[in-house]
Structure 1
């Protein structure tokens, strides 16, 4: 958990340093890596709804980077996308007020054309948002019964260095080794009857289908944007890159439970084998102590969702992904692709017309899935989301409401979160403007250099 200071005005201030390091993933081998405040990955940041925070990010790498607060509702100039560049040796200090429900978010770089490598080398961390006014009795002691689980796949050279393989390979790195929180063969000693695992697919291209070796049920209680309305008992949860899920697992004294990734259902892709659709990995072994402290039962009601109504949507947009383009265009840092009016409720229809694996992430907002091919979404997609896997040929209708952060000169992104796809052009950007403001078409070469 990250340490912080509190300014005189009550702002909670964190410090992050992106820096090179070295990690001992393999016996007797030191692997060059990058990390925040350490050699690999970064500390968990934590703040409450209503708090003002500031994060001083220092770039100690020898190339530019950014830090994006994935899933966070905040001003575009603080979003950490490709326009908020941090030069080597510089420090960027975004500040904003946390204004969204409790959720498991994360942070990672977003430099244009270089995001895949920056994340792959180790720049990523969790960001917990708490809301004391909406806190059901779930396991919540960090590192005891509330555990971050960052799952990533890696590929190593014979010398033990991380390799990304052929840069033009599709869909990106699909490593033969899976690590959890930077550890190969990870395990956790459990001391309570129930444990809350906050799963993050931190991979750059691989989709996982999480479940246990013994096929035991677990309770899905939250997805990207926070709690579901009620727990959902299941044996599997599919997560594409950047998606999150919070699950509650029940154990008995002496229990051994292996969390695995099973072959994921990828839809009508060109080659399930080539895209990782036939792979199985051990992810995290849970080892229960001989005595387990009692846990409270999972509440039957988790959150009273006030859902957006389709009848309130005044704008409909369509986005078609194909190869490295959205609506037939590759990313242009100066072009504004969409202009959103503050406060509007919109429906975005997403589809993929090629047979590659894709997903879709929207900055700043959490959305609800209205339908997939005209049918209501499955229960695991009923909550707030900011990223969704898009099976080829299917239509996903998403509803979202845009908030108060108006800035015609700072853009938010939407893109495929398979990071090689993003780097090579499968991304667009939008600005939020006031009701009576002019609608800009370009950012005029704007580059927020820090």
Structure 2
């Protein structure tokens, strides 16, 4: 009996020690999991402005751009050369710019030692020109997509989309802006001088391992890679000197997994004038705008002479559980970009109270509805299969897609080719930040959104577009599906099985 008691004592002691160790480890992980760079260091590097890409006009009026994917080294800090990738340079790429109605052609040469692709995120264009995983560019090869710009003025972007490797290619530096203009936006009295009062703001989170860009996920980071500092346009601790009363910021979340809530420490109101696909009907006065990976927002910020004000990302309370907020980045804070106002500012016109005309459908003419359940293991229970068409839609029709996230972690949802309108969020009217044209939306756990999409073609039964989670780690794991656009009565071609989701219904 005494021996048995001794065994119980030893076992009890061991269990207690293990429990204490586990508890200590968890406490350490919990307290160490949130990240803040607020007030950490002076912002002493002038913001780099991506150059406007040169172009030429062919005999038929087509605007031609040249891009070259290449590897190189970038000095984010003086004297420390980091291996990076870029377009026409060592990191990121130039800003392409075109007018609505123009024909464009982009010659893309792959100077890397592995295949990649270039996707035009937010662009309405033929599926064969989309640059998704079905249009790989082999090392040393050149791909030349061409299309006619047929959508409103907007801040779009381009980035790689190779199947299973998108996160790594984007994180290494392959990304750039593609700005669209039109006659209506040109007539508006908004800040429009690129790099002066109209600033591109490409935000990425990074972590350095010596000179190398680290890409390892932390323990329990199920959304993907989360860095411990941010860059804007490839600039660490950036500041921008501005000389106007109103400054337009074209915000792009080019991070691979991190979601931001942008605002200012003094809670000043700014005007949201545009979302992913272009101008809102009317400006919305906001103090915060939340952007998940791939989303864009254009905001107009009032400045006071001589001030310095920090664009900051704040903690977010809509991330799901406390566990997800802590380990998936929702509790994190970042100083992002310091705006330094001149002692005397040029006067700016007031933000117009009428901006754009929404061309996205309102869902009233929808002919069909579909449901999409978001899970890390796949959408609607199926991981991505390059040889399977998941949905077939009819050219010229409008549909309502219901997207649900009950997966216990944050996701978002991006649809290629179309800009859509958010009809409902959890059964309610969407907030102002979701009332403009969108191609990517953030869905924290417990969110249901209804989206109205119109598919205007061209029809191509053989070449699919993608829909997927734009947390790129999730995309690479298989959280993606495919759809083709066909003429009425036709099916997916090229021997592909048009399976349907099993979640479709007449609307």
Residue 443 of structure 1 and its aligned partner are, at CA, apart by 3.7
Equivalent residue number for residue 232 of structure 1? 284
Structure-to-structure mapping, 1:343-362, within 5 angstroms:
343-362=396-415
Cα displacement string for residues 391-440 of structure 1 (whole angstroms, at most 9, x for unaligned residues): 21221000010012111111100000000000010000000001132344
Equivalent residue number for residue 121 of structure 2? 70
The whole-number CA distance in structure 2 between the counterparts of 1:375 and 1:317 is 19
Equivalent residue number for residue 123 of structure 1? 174
Q: Larger deviation: 102-111 or 404-413?
A: 404-413
Equivalent residue number for residue 199 of structure 1? 251
Equivalent residue number for residue 89 of structure 1? 140
Equivalent residue number for residue 321 of structure 1? 374
Cα displacement string for residues 364-414 of structure 1 (whole angstroms, at most 9, x for unaligned residues): 000001001111101111110000001212210000100121111111000
Q: Rate the CA distance shift 1:23–1:439 in 2: closer, same or farther, 3 A.
A: closer
Residue 191 of structure 2 is aligned to residue 139 of structure 1: yes
| Contact 1:69/1:80 (8 A) holds in 2 | yes
Cα displacement string for residues 307-341 of structure 1 (whole angstroms, at most 9, x for unaligned residues): 52333100100000112310010000010000010
| Contact 1:26/1:160 (8 A) holds in 2 | no
Equivalent residue number for residue 102 of structure 1? 153
Residue 489 of structure 2 is aligned to residue 436 of structure 1: yes
TM (norm. structure 2) is 0.85
- Aligned match for 2:394, one of 317, 341, 360: 341
Question: Greater Rg, structure 1 or structure 2?
Answer: 2
Residue 91 of structure 2 is aligned to residue 40 of structure 1: yes
| Contact 1:336/1:440 (8 A) holds in 2 | no
Residue 353 of structure 1 and its aligned partner are, at CA, apart by 1.8
| Contact 1:69/1:108 (8 A) holds in 2 | yes
Q: Structure 1, unaligned stretches of length 5 or more?
A: 445-450
Equivalent residue number for residue 9 of structure 1? 60
- Aligned match for 2:474, one of 414, 418, 421: 421
SS at match of 2:488: coil
Residue 306 of structure 1 and its aligned partner are, at CA, apart by 5.1
Question: RMSD of the TM alignment (CA)?
Answer: 1.4
Residue 265 of structure 1 and its aligned partner are, at CA, apart by 3.1
The whole-number CA distance in structure 1 between the counterparts of 2:384 and 2:401 is 18
- Aligned match for 1:51, one of 102, 106, 114: 102
- Aligned match for 1:310, one of 363, 371, 380: 363
Cα displacement string for residues 154-213 of structure 1 (whole angstroms, at most 9, x for unaligned residues): 1111x2201111499521110001001101101100011111000000000000000012
Equivalent residue number for residue 504 of structure 2? none
The whole-number CA distance in structure 2 between the counterparts of 1:2 and 1:314 is 41
| Contact 1:108/1:125 (8 A) holds in 2 | yes
Structure-to-structure mapping, 1:146-165, within 5 angstroms:
146-157=198-209, 159-165=210-216
By percentage of residues, which structure has more helix?
2
Cα displacement string for residues 233-270 of structure 1 (whole angstroms, at most 9, x for unaligned residues): 11100000000000001112112111000012343245
The whole-number CA distance in structure 1 between the counterparts of 2:54 and 2:356 is 29
SS at match of 2:213: coil
Q: Structure 2, unaligned stretches of length 5 or more?
A: 1-51, 498-507
The whole-number CA distance in structure 1 between the counterparts of 2:329 and 2:436 is 26
Residue 304 of structure 1 and its aligned partner are, at CA, apart by 2.8
TM (norm. structure 1) is 0.96
The whole-number CA distance in structure 1 between the counterparts of 2:70 and 2:185 is 37
Q: Larger deviation: 275-284 or 291-300?
A: 291-300
